[in-house]
Structure 1
Amino acid sequence: MYYVKNQRNGKEIHDPRINLAIEYYLLNEVELDEPILLFYINDNSIIVGRNQNTYEEVNTSYVDENDVTVVRRFSGGGAVYHDMGVLNFCFLTKDDGNSFRDFKKFTSPVIDALHQMGVEGAELRGRNDLVIDGKKFSGNAMYAKNNRLTAHGTLMFDSEIEAVVKALKPKKHKLESKGIKSIRSRVTNIKPYLDDSYQFMNAKDFRDKLLLYIFDTDKSEDIKEYVLKDEDWVKIEAFAEQYTANWDWNYGKSPSFDTERSERLSVGTVEVKMNVRKGKIEDIRIFGDFFGMGEIEDVEKDLQGIPYTREAITRALKDIDTQTYFGNVEIDELVDLLY
């Protein structure tokens, strides 16, 4: 495995727009003979999932007042808050056809390392959360394209939890489905659970220690690296300009709709906004924190223009590979949501 430092001219980068651009540049343009590991720590920011409605996930007034950067990633899942106390990890590898949504495969190295540092209660729970004593410290997501796969996640090491609470706007039914009353009650940092010998660490120290555990070495010199070159940075900056630093990509247009539905399904939250005219679906947008492999716009196009009847919606969905776009969902769940 190769490790990539998010450094340019010896200086570490904390801009989320550039760090996410590095990640997707590595996914799309750099194919090495072994998997790649990337770590990065971002300044205050919110990273929303590929299929989410940014305005409904983010507390915009808090974001504006506190200079929080909002960036949309390419993977599904929910919105997460980043600050200098959050370590982000990313594994990039060939897509073997069996690993998408297999979060255990990619989070096990992190959990094993935490166990060695004294966090005995760290475990994967649910579809993609890492928890300690039932409290979440890591959310994970995946994205696959052109036979390549990225599996990435957050590690709340010493984050400002109060900022997390104020910056995000979780759906009410999402909280209820987990049997909790607030974000504050279900998230935690890693640092308080570490052995005493690790209490001196900040997020960067934690990253360096985690690297040694993952690469099974006592010396950082033994870690194999891929160093970003000038030609890499040209493409990274172009990618950021087109996507991660682009307002249209991060927020997108939000037209008005006359029908809105949102439910917590077996694959996560799915939200639908529609305009129905003369008995047909004239326009439709689908949002959510589900993990899909395809572009949800393909599903929207297949539903657009069909009669707004249960029968027509069922027929259309049966012609769509819903497992690919949404995950392990029953068609009846989607029909009930749409109609």
Structure 2
Amino acid sequence: MIYYISKTHDTAFNIALEEYCFKKLKDEDEIFLLWINEPSIIVGKYQNTIEEINTEYTREKGIHVIRRISGGGAVYHDLNNLNYTIISNRDKGQEGFNFKEFSKPIIETLAELGVKAEFTGRNDLEIDGQKFCGNAQAYIKDRVMHHGCLLFNVDFSALGDALKVSKDKIESKGVKSVRSRVTNILPHLKTPITVEEFGDKIMEYMKKQYPDMKEYVFSKEELDYIAKRAEVKRSWEWNYGESPEFNITRGKRFKNGKIQIFATVENSRIKNIKFYGDFFGKNEDLNEIENLLKNVKYTAEDVKEKLESIDIGEYFSKFTVDEIVEVIVE
């Protein structure tokens, strides 16, 4: 295993560096990364950015908005938020979004500090029933990238003002607000430490588990490439994109996540359709399924027949065809 602790708080650069390790360092079977970002909102790959953020607030406060390449929901980062990534060449298969296994270093590091943390729900880590970490994953063939953001001593007022969380998402968790669900790690520690010292504790755990792990040294050419990719990550096209006007908007939350569709229907046929949400999938290219549905009659029967011609789990992990049809038509 190799590791790298980023020395920069540049969000776009850190996101680009993580992607480089995932896509370019394929000969490295195991990679572990740690970094801290300046105030930012990290939007999931399949989300509609405009609907996830408080645009006026983020612009006023200079909060960066960056899209990542994994699914899941939007999260807020600041200088008291620690981010970690585990990249592995171990294929987990269609049922293999094993968030719990990849969360083990965090749970056990906290245990050594006297804090009992638990993996709950689909992809969350909690202390005393309150969330302190959300996780997401991306896949390329037999390679998985798992990453999580750890709320260490985050400014919750900024978090709440920067993120717009849909009402159905809050109600599905059985609470009235996002702030009532989350907690920082720091108040639960017997002895206060800094977020950097907490990162050191995680690295101590990793080095005990992997005695042969070595720090990776990026070449100038690699850093130049990452810097160019970071500029792409800063662009409006990457983070917002051009959205056509749709005349149908539908969405529903299921046990494996929320799916939302925006569609244009003309002459009772689907002209354009776009999927958004906090779901996960092994196939990143949703254009394939969106193009598949073009010119299909806007009926449950016709949409279902078309969707049954593909492996729906490749795009929407652990969802059924009937659930996808329900979002689109019913």
**TM-score higher than 0.5 here?**
yes
Q: Tell me the distance in 1 between the aligned counterparts of 2:24 and 2:124.
A: 29
Among 42, 55, 59, which residue is 1:60 paired with? 55
**Residue of structure 2 equivalent to 1:302:** 292
Q: Quick check: 1:175 aligned with 2:177? A: no
Partner amino acid, structure 2, of 1:3: Y
- Which has the higher mean CA deviation after the structures are superposed, 62-71 or 327-336? 327-336
Among 99, 104, 107, which residue is 2:103 paired with? 107
Q: Tell me the distance in 1 between the aligned counterparts of 2:42 and 2:96.
A: 20
Instruction: Map residues 245-324 of structure 1 onto 2, 5 A cutoff.
Output: 245-294=234-283, 295-324=285-314
Q: Quick check: 1:327 aligned with 2:317? A: yes
Q: Tell me the distance in 2 between the aligned counterparts of 1:80 and 1:94.
A: 26
Q: Quick check: 1:213 aligned with 2:213? A: no
Q: Tell me the distance in 2 between the aligned counterparts of 1:62 and 1:246.
A: 19
Partner amino acid, structure 1, of 2:201: K
Q: Tell me the distance in 2 between the aligned counterparts of 1:261 and 1:277.
A: 17
TM-score, normalization by structure 2: 0.95
Q: Quick check: 1:27 aligned with 2:16? A: no
Q: How many residues in Structure 1 have an aligned counterpart in Structure 2?
A: 326
In structure 1, the residue corresponding to 2:234 is in which secondary structure?
Answer: coil
Partner amino acid, structure 2, of 1:124: F
Identity in percent: 41
Q: Alpha carbons of 1:108 and 1:314: their partners in 2 closer, same or farther (altered >3 Å)?
A: same
Partner amino acid, structure 1, of 2:85: C
Q: Tell me the distance in 1 between the aligned counterparts of 2:269 and 2:212.
A: 62
Query: What displacement does 1:25 show?
Result: 0.4
Kindly provide the CA deviation profile for residues 35-64 of structure 1, in whole angstroms up to 9, marking residues without a partner as x.
Answer: 110001000000000000000000101100
Partner amino acid, structure 1, of 2:12: R
- Which has the higher mean CA deviation after the structures are superposed, 292-301 or 129-138? 292-301
Contact kept, 8 Å, 2:2 with 2:28, in 1: the verdict is no
**Residue of structure 1 equivalent to 2:223:** 233
Contact kept, 8 Å, 1:14 with 1:40, in 2: the verdict is yes
Contact kept, 8 Å, 1:100 with 1:144, in 2: the verdict is no
Q: Quick check: 1:48 aligned with 2:37? A: no
Query: What displacement does 1:237 show?
Result: 1.6
Kindly provide the CA deviation profile for residues 169-196 of structure 1, in whole angstroms up to 9, marking residues without a partner as x.
Answer: 1111111111011011000000111122
Q: Tell me the distance in 2 between the aligned counterparts of 1:338 and 1:34.
A: 40
Kindly provide the CA deviation profile for residues 243-275 of structure 1, in whole angstroms up to 9, marking residues without a partner as x.
Answer: x12210111112211110011023211100011
RMSD: 1.5
Query: What displacement does 1:222 show?
Result: 7.7
Q: Tell me the distance in 1 between the aligned counterparts of 2:73 and 2:129.
A: 18
Partner amino acid, structure 2, of 1:319: S
TM-score, normalization by structure 1: 0.93
Contact kept, 8 Å, 1:100 with 1:142, in 2: the verdict is no
Q: Tell me the distance in 1 between the aligned counterparts of 2:188 and 2:296.
A: 54
The unaligned stretches of length 5 or more in structure 2 are none
**Residue of structure 1 equivalent to 2:65:** 70
